[in-house]
Amino acid sequence: MRLLNICDLLKELDFKWIANVRINTFTPELLTKFKDSGCVYLFFGVESPDDEVLRYIRKGQNRQMIDKGIETVSKGDIKTLYSLIIGLPNETEEQVHRVLNFADEIRMRHPGAEVPIQPYVPLPGTLLYEEAIKAGFEPPKTLEGWKNFTNDEIATPWVKNPKLLNAIYINTFLAFRYERFLKSFWSGLMFGPLNKLSVWRWKNRNFNFFFERYLYLSYKRMGWLFILLGKLLRK
């Protein structure tokens, strides 16, 4: 397999790398190869626990494949992210709840894994883009208009409560992805309480009075300052 040969080459080069991989193609052999060749981070676009949704988005994988992949990856010690998605056209409230519950299941089966839940963003060239247009999505008129069109800017008209999806996205970032930044004393002192609040919100599914959104927006606008501060705190 070409990928195994690439891993051998990466091992010879002796540097750290990250991988975005399809979970239905991941095997125990690949897990060992990735680790030995310097892989420090794995990203999997799992998207949904529902076979119906996976077929709708033409993901090319099903729940059985996802479960088998999680079982494989959880046996290793490479830092791992499983990305989930909400806010798709024709999505039901029950499907949203299943995604949230699946995030808990992943964390139980693979402790320490990062599980962000991201609102769907229609992008030109993707399989669902034309369906999003038919469902009422109005894309930006210019190329420049796309620059701020990200997961935290929900502009899909079928979403009845965009603030809730926004809160879920930010909260899973703070609760599950932010753990890696809390290892030093100073970063834990400054950001630990926010992480604990986010974990509490998640466990109780309580996203009321979500002031964290304004902190997040400040982070986006002054990202360079927070990055510098984070580097200083990790020293």
Which pTM was predicted?
Answer: 0.87
Nearest 5°: phi and psi at 135? -85, 0
Domain count, the chain: 2
141 with 228, same domain? no
Q: How far apart are CA 106 and CA 218, in angstroms?
A: 30
DSSP conformation letters of 211-226: THHHHHHHHHHTHHHH
Give average pLDDT by consecutive 10-residue segment, the chain, 235 residues: 81 89 92 93 96 94 96 94 95 94 97 94 89 91 82 87 93 81 65 87 94 79 59 56
16 Cβ contact list (under 8 Å, min separation 6): 38, 39, 40
The pLDDT, as a whole number, for residue 204 is 96
The pLDDT, as a whole number, for residue 178 is 66
48 with 75, same domain? yes
61 with 150, same domain? yes
231 with 164, same domain? no
Q: Which residue type sits at 225?
A: L
22 with 43, same domain? yes
Judge contact between 194 and 181, C-beta under 8 A. Answer: no
85 with 191, same domain? no
The pLDDT, as a whole number, for residue 126 is 87
Closest CA to 198 of 235, 158, 167: 167
206 with 175, same domain? no
- The parent domain of residue 86 ranges over 2-181
